[in-house]
Structure 1
């Protein structure tokens, strides 16, 4: 308990200082965690939280349902539908393009087996919207651009996780069965994705009907907790996508549930409640990422990391510009969506969930940490100036 309290206090202090200085707090916490990790007095704290199972469980099982639920709960279905073509093109087409491009380039450049390279491609396809969305809000960026970025990231995480699991656990069966194997892979992808969406939609509808009979915001907040964590773990137990289930459940509750029975007080309460949970979760996760980066020995992989960073940038660029060719997105938006596709804690947690005997596991983890650090700090610090230089992004002054 003492470790958790120390972690929380340090993450909270770092976040408060960053916000006071008008600096993106996720980036500040990664840098703070990396710096703090060099001091021996924090060795016990590092050893407690840097156990791979502890880190993975904190990110995936504890905070991921809350963070995905909070984000999907606030998304307007009307605005999602208005930008659906761009969002789906990026989340499905763009993620698949990034997955394949990254995998093929890594296999060629690092001489890794194709399965190992495609696993890395799946990890690099997941994006983290937290830093970018906070910058968007501070600059008053066009709402449609913000919705497109956040909508893509939410759906993209679900698709990337499905690709990751299929590549790790079903690759041999898919590749050894020819066209039948490819058909099985497509079927499994659709089953996992659509199954998660169905579970989330059904339980989101049920939760919406239930909360419509109450005007008791502590109770309704509790229902939303049960909805997000319940749909996540139920979907995962059925071998469906838990992330896609939460996105569907949050969209239904946040739109249908809000329209049929949430009082103004309840709506405000749920929003404040989940804002607080997401704030705490993000603060702890980004601080942990900084601590973990300091712990991982990546010095032996510097050459590979530089190659991986280049591959990640190239693959994201190809994915964004190719998948959005048939959309009406302004070119300036495409530039921002491209550079704003940051990698984050989900990529790290998934990499650390690889079986201990998986080929090149240590190298994959080292490369992921290197790319994530560059992405959060390098891209995170330069996306703001890029946005300010781009036309047609609707920047407004925000007090």
Structure 2
């Protein structure tokens, strides 16, 4: 039995590698080949054991995914855009869940409202990863990215709270008054518990200096937030989000640089594995899902899928173009809605792709729920249709609207790099003048930071960038690649000749890798 599960795990990992390679080669969203590979693998008898219990997905995938999203939230920008984010996250999420519930009930009256609401809650939250990665690459105004990321974080909490209410209604009657009281209890309890836990974990992080121990602590934190909150009847998702947000706003003060570097790399890989495996698992369940909806005609399935998809996509466009505009009159101090023009609102409306969270929620619908296969089928249609239809057309839309050429973010980063380099040089001169650093060492570091300063000034047109004058961007990338290759080859030769140890070799290669990563993130 254990060998069978290991074979399944390895097969899923291989499909993830192949699927992402196909996505890179073709330019299509990775979800498409991952799902198709999962469908193909479902015909292998051993892979039938890969059907994951709903509770497993709910208790494993969701805490990790929402914790990471909350941890990476930008607090200042989110606070500044709290009103537009709230209008999208609270208003649109609730409206979408209710619209989808009504659409399903209209087409299929036999579907109970708790199951229909569970589907609405599943497809309501957006996944901004695809959209924001395209926007950053094209230089879209940063405020759009901030609003979409903030919306995604909050709408996860709203949608999953509604999903919890739907699950409760599946097992016991829920009146409107009882539903309101239940929401107040789960929301208040989840947020309070999450903040308290965040404070406790923050104190522990401040006392731990070992990077490995920091990673272990960060890995168990989402589960310590989610599972006890769910056990006591609170919202585990809100508790996890509150904990992640609290710690994320204090990450730099709690963690040492080495811990941040290794921790970020670990979490990037972990989230990649979780999201990719979800699409593979969906593919593995497709045959069972199709078997479960075989009592419906193809026409009925197509009609229901189109109606649900239309409710999701059209409602978002209408909300951003009409309702979002009306929200400027809400009371309170907030950034002017005039800065979110018609073009920006159209992009926000079209950037509502669904992804891993929707799949995780849909797959976590209990096996005992009626019409579960139908709900998973409809959720999969929404995810694949929005990824294939919206993600692939977002970049052309941005260019057509003239929102893909902003250099504000590049200039802002260059200003920050110049300021940090100048601060380092100033401190270096102080240490050298006090004879706390010898002149030879000071000169080495002086040249390093002056080079970084020249690069920042070159971006800001404050110098000619003599070290790179006359070279275009493509030539610069080629030159840097050649120099990095020469350095790595020299390190390998020194090790092969017995002049350095394996430890030294790994250390030098690690430094070269870090430098290459830094240059890749430098403004060009």
User: Residues of 2 paired with 1:274 and 1:39: CA distance?
Assistant: 27
- 1:179 equivalent in structure 2: none
SS in 1 for 2:249: helix
1:384 and 1:293, CA in 2 relative to 1: closer, same or farther beyond 3 A?
farther
By how many angstroms is 1:39 displaced? 6.3
Which of 365, 383, 391 is matched with 2:376 structurally? 365
1:193 and 1:374, CA in 2 relative to 1: closer, same or farther beyond 3 A?
same
1:244-283 correspondence runs (5 A): 244-259=238-253, 261-283=254-276
- 1:316 equivalent in structure 2: 316
- 1:23 equivalent in structure 2: 27
Task: Judge conservation of contact 1:212–1:257 (CA < 8 Å) in 2.
Answer: no
User: Residues of 2 paired with 1:36 and 1:107: CA distance?
Assistant: 30
- 1:226 equivalent in structure 2: 220
- 1:169 equivalent in structure 2: 168
1:84-95 correspondence runs (5 A): 84-95=82-93
Cα RMSD (Å): 2.8
By how many angstroms is 1:160 displaced? 0.8
Q: After the TM superposition, list the runs of 4 or more consecutive aligned residues in structure 1 that deviate by more than 6 angstroms.
A: none
By how many angstroms is 1:146 displaced? 1.6
SS in 2 for 1:128: coil
1:135 and 1:291, CA in 2 relative to 1: closer, same or farther beyond 3 A?
farther
Task: Judge conservation of contact 1:73–1:254 (CA < 8 Å) in 2.
Answer: yes
Q: Which has the higher contact order (CA 8 A, sep 6+)?
A: 1
By how many angstroms is 1:8 displaced? 0.7
User: Residues of 2 paired with 1:122 and 1:131: CA distance?
Assistant: 21
SS in 2 for 1:325: helix
Superimposed CA distance per residue, residues 38-64 of structure 1 (whole angstroms, 9 cap, x where no aligned partner): 467x52354122x251xx355432232
Task: Judge conservation of contact 1:196–1:240 (CA < 8 Å) in 2.
Answer: yes
Task: Judge conservation of contact 1:211–1:257 (CA < 8 Å) in 2.
Answer: no
Task: Judge conservation of contact 2:275–2:356 (CA < 8 Å) in 1.
Answer: no
Pair 1:325 & 2:326 matched: yes
Between 224-233 and 315-324, the greater mean CA deviation after superposition:
315-324
User: Residues of 1 paired with 2:269 and 2:365: CA distance?
Assistant: 31
Pair 1:108 & 2:101 matched: no
Task: Judge conservation of contact 1:75–1:251 (CA < 8 Å) in 2.
Answer: yes
1:229-244 correspondence runs (5 A): 229-244=223-238
By how many angstroms is 1:364 displaced? 2.5
By how many angstroms is 1:163 displaced? 0.9
By how many angstroms is 1:184 displaced? 2.8
- Between Structure 1 and Structure 2, how many residues are aligned? 385
- Tell which structure's C-alpha radius of gyration is larger: 2
Task: Judge conservation of contact 1:289–1:345 (CA < 8 Å) in 2.
Answer: no
User: Residues of 2 paired with 1:334 and 1:170: CA distance?
Assistant: 36
- 2:127 equivalent in structure 1: 128
By how many angstroms is 1:81 displaced? 0.9
1:198 and 1:3, CA in 2 relative to 1: closer, same or farther beyond 3 A?
same
1:188-207 correspondence runs (5 A): 188-207=182-201
User: Residues of 1 paired with 2:10 and 2:113: CA distance?
Assistant: 43
Between 271-280 and 110-119, the greater mean CA deviation after superposition:
110-119
Superimposed CA distance per residue, residues 208-266 of structure 1 (whole angstroms, 9 cap, x where no aligned partner): 1211123221111111112112101111112222222222111111212433x322222
Q: What are structure 2's unaligned runs of at least 5 residues?
A: 1-5, 329-336, 411-522
User: Residues of 1 paired with 2:73 and 2:312: CA distance?
Assistant: 28
Task: Judge conservation of contact 1:127–1:344 (CA < 8 Å) in 2.
Answer: yes
User: Residues of 2 paired with 1:5 and 1:223: CA distance?
Assistant: 27
Task: Judge conservation of contact 2:15–2:37 (CA < 8 Å) in 1.
Answer: no
Superimposed CA distance per residue, residues 260-310 of structure 1 (whole angstroms, 9 cap, x where no aligned partner): x32222222222221121122222222333443465316732222122222
1:38 and 1:392, CA in 2 relative to 1: closer, same or farther beyond 3 A?
closer
1:386 and 1:362, CA in 2 relative to 1: closer, same or farther beyond 3 A?
same
By how many angstroms is 1:4 displaced? 0.5
- 1:287 equivalent in structure 2: 280
- 2:157 equivalent in structure 1: 158
SS in 2 for 1:212: helix
Q: TM-score scaled by structure 2? A: 0.66
User: Residues of 1 paired with 2:119 and 2:318: CA distance?
Assistant: 17
Q: What are structure 1's unaligned runs of at least 5 residues?
A: 176-181
- 1:72 equivalent in structure 2: 70
- 2:491 equivalent in structure 1: none
SS in 2 for 1:326: helix
User: Residues of 2 paired with 1:350 and 1:32: CA distance?
Assistant: 18
By how many angstroms is 1:193 displaced? 2.0
1:293 and 1:373, CA in 2 relative to 1: closer, same or farther beyond 3 A?
farther
Q: TM-score scaled by structure 1? A: 0.85
User: Residues of 2 paired with 1:114 and 1:170: CA distance?
Assistant: 9
Task: Judge conservation of contact 1:209–1:257 (CA < 8 Å) in 2.
Answer: no
Between 277-286 and 294-303, the greater mean CA deviation after superposition:
294-303
User: Residues of 2 paired with 1:388 and 1:223: CA distance?
Assistant: 43
